[in-house]
Amino acid sequence: MSTGVLFSVIAAAVAFKALFFFSYHSTDFEVHRNWIAITYSLPISEWYFDETSIWTLDYPPFFALFEWLLSFIAAKIDPIICTITPNPYISNGLIIFQRLSVIVSEFLMFAALVKIRHSLKLSGSGFLKRSYYPLWILFAFNFGLLIVDHIHFQYNGFLLGLLILSMAHIIEENYIFASLLFTALLNFKHIFIYIAPAYFVHILMNYCMGKRELSDIVSRFVKVGGVVTLVMISSFGYFIYMNQLMQIFSRLFPFNRGLCHAYWAPNFWSLYNFVDKILNFLDDHFLHMWPQKISTTATMTSGLVENVEHVILPAITPLHTTLLSLLFMLPTLYISIRKSRFFNFTSAVISHVFLKSVIVTAWSCFIFGWHVHEKAVLMFLLPLNLFTLISGEYRFLTFYVSTLGYYSLIPLIPTNAEFPAVISTYLAHTCIHWLTLFRILPVNNINERSKLDQSRISHAIQRIGCLHLWGLILLFIFTNIVLPLSYLGQRLPYLPLMLTSVYTAMGIFCSFVIFIWSTTTTTSYCLPTAVVESMKKVNYVKKKKQ
């Protein structure tokens, strides 16, 4: 794709997003304005202590510094932006400035896409030339980023760009710089610690243990450890010196917020909560099997962020969620260990396995994590789409889970004014996504064994998935038309959100299990043709040497 076409795509995307400048925005808009005010008005020693507003600073120091840099521009536009107040502040200047800051920072994602395309071509990882144009279209006009960043308001595009950039350097085997970038990413938004196991295992087995000599192993450990330590000290060093580390950690990891957010993320715990509610209802009206229940009313859908005990099912703690997340990562991490430089695999295979491990670790923590927000679905959806577009694998699964994941984000925009635009954009994005995966991408890059699996094993699963996707239409009609007009909808105002969360969670969780199963049972043969050919060449050279 020519540079002119790339800039045209970006320009069109920017123009489209600008249409939503003065649309609905969530409380996150005031959150980030308050952070700008805190970092501009207070000395750094008070950043993580100020409680003038309820929207206290709870991101790592690098993101606080990012807000501090923005504050100098904001002060020139409207000095009141940088004033700490307990009440929200809004102005046209503030709206334009903060919306533009998201758009400009998102350019890092586009630069990262260029970089990873170059990295994949160098590694021989089977990058599909015809996928470059759709890759740009789907990321520039991504529905999830539009909803979460450009309407609701966050900076996920910028942060995911940093993630993709670090992945590109991993693929190029530039492990030191990749370690620096990923550690910096953790110090911008600590939620990316979900993906840390994939990076740790990959760098350990392919760089630190890549050579058998003890001196080389020690030297590489020291290099990686030194870079990581340097970044962490540059981020937290001052706060360690001021003895404020525990205060920061209490802000970064508020375990008292409870298992689920007010709007349940479509993960395993939404299903768990739903089952608890059903059992509670059945027990109250029919069964009477649990006389020693914690309470007679389940309050997990009250809309408040609080720590709530389950009524029938066992209570869940942060330890449970952590152990489950790690448990479901283990099969893929084991594959990352086995298919590594330590065991003499090629760069093409290693890169392929690494991309899958990033997806699985992010997905696992979304499914089982503590107090997961629905917006975190982007952490695995974008890498999954990137992987499918560059390899041609998992087309139906990617389309299926993306359609569900993006649908689950629609309730983030609750206003009637934006509703037609949100729904029409969702439908347009879904159509383009389908055309891209099933009409534009070539199909001859998947080896014959993979085709056999798709035709014999997963055909029935795909048919069930199609029916489930068509069911979104019925869900939409019921939650947006039938319930609001009924007595049940007035009595249970949270029911539409609960049904949306549970319905989409069923598909996202099942897709997660299928993806893990496929990566651990078919990794040896379900590879792009370029990767398979690379493996054949290596085996031929080995036999020739023997």
Q: Look up residue 314 and give its DSSP letter.
A: P
How many C-beta atoms surround the C-beta of residue 530 within 10 A?
20
Percent of the chain residues past pLDDT 70, beyond the cut:
86
Question: What's the gap between Cα 347 and its chain centre?
Answer: 26
**DSSP reduced 3-state for 343:** helix
Q: Look up residue 479 and give its DSSP letter.
A: I
pLDDT at site 157:
96
- Least confident among 107-121, 201-215, 282-296, 513-527: 282-296
Full 3-state SS string of 70-119:
HHHHHHHHCHHHHCCCCCCCCCHHHHHHHHHHHHHHCHHHHHHHHHHHHH
316-325 pLDDT per residue, tens: 989 999 999 9
Please name the residue that has the structure tokens 């006009």: 141
Of the candidates 60, 96, 67, which has an alpha carbon nearest to the alpha carbon of residue 82? 67
- Contact (Cβ atoms closer than 8 angstroms) between residue 61 and residue 190: no
pLDDT at site 525:
37
In this predicted structure, the answer to whether residue 451 has a pLDDT above a threshold of 60 is: no
Query: Model confidence at 214, in pLDDT bands (50, 70, 90)?
Result: confident
Please name the residue that has the structure tokens 């007010």: 262
461-482 pLDDT per residue, tens: 888 999 999 999 999 999 999 9
72-94 pLDDT per residue, tens: 999 999 999 999 999 999 999 99
Query: Model confidence at 398, in pLDDT bands (50, 70, 90)?
Result: very high
pLDDT at site 526:
42
Of the candidates 354, 327, 328, 329, which has an alpha carbon nearest to the alpha carbon of residue 340? 354
**Distance in angstroms (rounded) separating the CA atoms of residues 95 and 457:** 51
- Contact (Cβ atoms closer than 8 angstroms) between residue 187 and residue 232: yes
pLDDT at site 240:
95
**Distance in angstroms (rounded) separating the CA atoms of residues 353 and 167:** 12
Q: What is the mean pLDDT of residues 284-297?
A: 59
pLDDT at site 118:
83
Burial of residue 330 (CB within 10 Å: 0-12, 13-18, 19+) is middle
pLDDT at site 457:
57
Distances (CA, A) of 390 to 5, 136, 160, 298, 398: 19, 12, 17, 45, 13
In this predicted structure, the answer to whether residue 532 has a pLDDT above a threshold of 90 is: no
133-191 pLDDT per residue, tens: 788 889 999 999 999 999 999 999 999 999 999 999 999 999 999 999 999 999 999 99
Q: What is the mean pLDDT of residues 223-251?
A: 95
Query: Model confidence at 213, in pLDDT bands (50, 70, 90)?
Result: confident
In this predicted structure, the answer to whether residue 109 has a pLDDT above a threshold of 80 is: yes
Q: Which residue has the higher pLDDT, 10 or 263?
A: 10
Q: What is the mean pLDDT of residues 484-503?
A: 90
Q: What is the CA radius of gyration of the chain?
A: 24
Question: What's the gap between Cα 12 and its chain centre?
Answer: 25
- Contact (Cβ atoms closer than 8 angstroms) between residue 376 and residue 265: yes
pLDDT at site 124:
57
pLDDT at site 1:
54
pLDDT at site 168:
94
- Spell out the domain ranges in the chain: 24-103
**Distance in angstroms (rounded) separating the CA atoms of residues 332 and 360:** 7
- Contact (Cβ atoms closer than 8 angstroms) between residue 160 and residue 150: no
In this predicted structure, the answer to whether residue 531 has a pLDDT above a threshold of 80 is: no
Query: Model confidence at 528, in pLDDT bands (50, 70, 90)?
Result: very low
Q: What is the mean pLDDT of residues 365-394?
A: 91
